[in-house]
Amino acid sequence: GNSVTQMEGPVTLSEEAFLTINCTYTATGYPSLFWYVQYPGEGLQLLLKATKADDKGSNKGFEATYRKETTSFHLEKGSVQVSDSAVYFCALRTTSYNQGGKLIFGQGTELSVKP
Amino acid sequence: KAGVTQTPRYLIKTRGQQVTLSCSPISGHRSVSWYQQTPGQGLQFLFEYFSETQRNKGNFPGRFSGRQFSNSRSEMNVSTLELGDSALYLCASSAGSQLTGELFFGEGSRLTVL
């Protein structure tokens, strides 16, 4: 079946450090891939997405590239800020008919950035 | 443009009771999905409604049900509550595109079952 595996957290970094959160997936066909962020006490916000192989999603300094050969979608940021502290979720959505609203999420990775 | 609105934000129930949660999607969005978030199981898909029809369903017992009204507002109901139903219930709306439509999430309804 379809699944998403994320690196376990929590991840603690100092401000301006480089961030990588690993995400790999298992899926049939050609899924769309997403990173969502959840700040404390809030719902999920879409951070970035990629819908086909070799696409690079980017937003707010975060980037992730859809790698079909390694079934990965790792999240990176060159210089994190304290305000980036949140839980990050990798997710996929299959292209099967009538699966439009169904996202499959990884377990989430908590990021804590210290000043 | 108003976002996805979920009510109530917090509620406490006791085992055996039932609960109804409400979700108002973004204006013009016809798809509403529901997810359960718990520390142990993470985010799990409950069901999706589109134009008042259930389009997709996750692996939850029949105690979990939902519906969508003609104005796209949705409700989910959990009957005979169990302690394990304590969770954050998230609603998401989408314009309905099958392949690339973005899901917009509400802030959730946090249910505590005592």
Chain A residues with beta carbon closer than 8 angstroms to that of B5: none
The stretch B9-38 carries a mean pLDDT of 96
pLDDT mean over A54-82: 97
Average pLDDT for chain A: 92
What 3-state DSSP class applies to A54? coil
Testing the interface with A: which of B88, B89, B99, B104 to mutate, by most A Cβ within 10 A?
B99
What pLDDT is stored for residue B55 in this prediction? Answer: 85
Pairwise CA distance, residues B9 & A67, whole Å: 38
Q: How far is B47 from chain A (nearest CA, A)?
A: 8
Contacts of B56 in chain A (CB under 8 A): 98-99, 101-102
How many other C-beta atoms lie within 10 A of the C-beta of residue A43? Answer: 21
Tell me the pLDDT tens digit for each residue of A20-41: 999 999 988 788 999 999 998 8
Asked if B50's CB is within 8 angstroms of A101's CB, the reply is: yes
Q: Which residues pair with B6 in a beta bridge?
A: B23
| Highest averaged pLDDT of the listed ranges A6-15, A102-111, B78-87, B88-97 | B78-87
pLDDT digits (tens, 9 = 90+) for B30-85: 999 999 999 989 999 999 998 899 988 899 999 999 999 999 999 999 999 999 99
Per-residue HEC secondary structure of chain B comes to CCCCEEECCEEEECCCCCEEEEEECCCCCCEEEEEEEECCCEEEEEEEEECCEEEEECCCCCCEEEEECCCCCEEEEECCCCHHHCEEEEEEEECCCCCCCCCEECCCEEEEEC
Q: What is the pLDDT of residue B25?
A: 96
Report d(CA B35, CA B31) in Å as an integer: 13
Q: Of all residues in chain A, what percent carry a pLDDT higher than 90? A: 76
